[in-house]
Structure 1
Amino acid sequence: MVKSLLKRLLPLPRVVIETERFTLRAVRRDWLGARSLHWSEDTDFVEGLGWPPGPYKPRQWRRRFNRPDNRKIFHFAIFPRGTETLIGAHGVNFTEPGIASLYVGIGDHAWWGKGVVQEVRAALLDFIFDQAGGHRAFGMVHASNTASIYNYQRLGFRHEGTLRRHRTLARTGEQVDLLAFGMLKEEWQARRRGVKSAAIAGIR
């Protein structure tokens, strides 16, 4: 118990990732839970994550997030570059050695449909495969979440399987399929090389 308490009090390794438009900063779940509590009132946001509907008390909401160690479990707060305005969060959880489970939620509706997920997830895939020792990344999404499905497909994730009528939507009671999307390290590296080659060809 004492070791567990001391571990919680120790500072986490600092992990910051920059993209063209955004800064991703790995944060503690207490920080994320407190600053994202208002998202718990957004039924679209909560349902997109596959979480039970609210209302949530602050402690209940905070405990929806795993406790990060910034080695195997990360919660990346998403900020527009040069600001401290939290617009979303992207999680990376190494459920097994080398295998990263992904989740993402954009809490600020003003940024919906503006390519946030594709930009930050591409940077996180570089991090997972080039720095964190990952060889596979995957995510699960319910079949009615068309935006998430689009984002996985746009980045080249493969649809690896369907769990039929595996999730019940809280608002409607509808039973929907749960889809699995995956990406291997070599697939991502090949995709990145292809993107760079296309860019070079375009310049010529």
Structure 2
Amino acid sequence: MTSTHPGAPTGVPFHALRHIPILRTGPGALTLCAAPSLALGVRPVPLSTVSDALFGHAQERDALVVTGLRLPRTVIGLAVGAALVAAWAVAQGITRNPLVRPESQVSTGPGVTTKDVSPERIDQADADLILVTAADTEDKPQKQQVVTNPVWKSLPAAGNGRVFEVPDEIWMSGIGVQAAERTLVDVARATGTELPRK
């Protein structure tokens, strides 16, 4: 009930890349992108020769190919890529893309698929629409502890009637096509969307 699911594929793809060692540093990422551009072409150049050309130790013809022809296009490509990333970041900040999870709901652990949120910090689960599920117990005390506390009541979704309860046996335990269809029905009901006819 008090867990969000940061493992779902929602828009911010760069978190996965940090687990690749060579991409943890800027120079490593630049090297990975630039090396093929400098080495590959109609006239293949070994990476060792590319390195020699960049430091002025290669033969004149190889140096001309690497530094005179390929290096300028590589620099331009990297600059264009950096500009697109910067534009993407600005656009995300301005439009607040609803497909991107808030930082408070993002886990950086490689094996973590849920994130516990205490009742005092339930505002970290804030969203335009909230789907609630709880273990199938008779009185569901944990759910009551959350939905009756003032922090929960202050959430816009709770105040605007945008909280929908969904069955635990489908959303948390259900598997297979039938469970998937039921989740789609619940999402359609919550969002006011009409499902296509079968």
Q: Which has the higher strand share?
A: 1
Q: Would the TM-score normalized by the shorter structure come out above 0.5?
A: no
- Greater RCO, CA 8 A, separation 6+: 2
Q: Which has the higher helix share?
A: 2
User: Taking structure 2 as the reference length, what is the TM-score of the superposition?
Assistant: 0.25
User: Which structure has the larger Rg over C-alpha atoms?
Assistant: 2
User: Taking structure 1 as the reference length, what is the TM-score of the superposition?
Assistant: 0.24
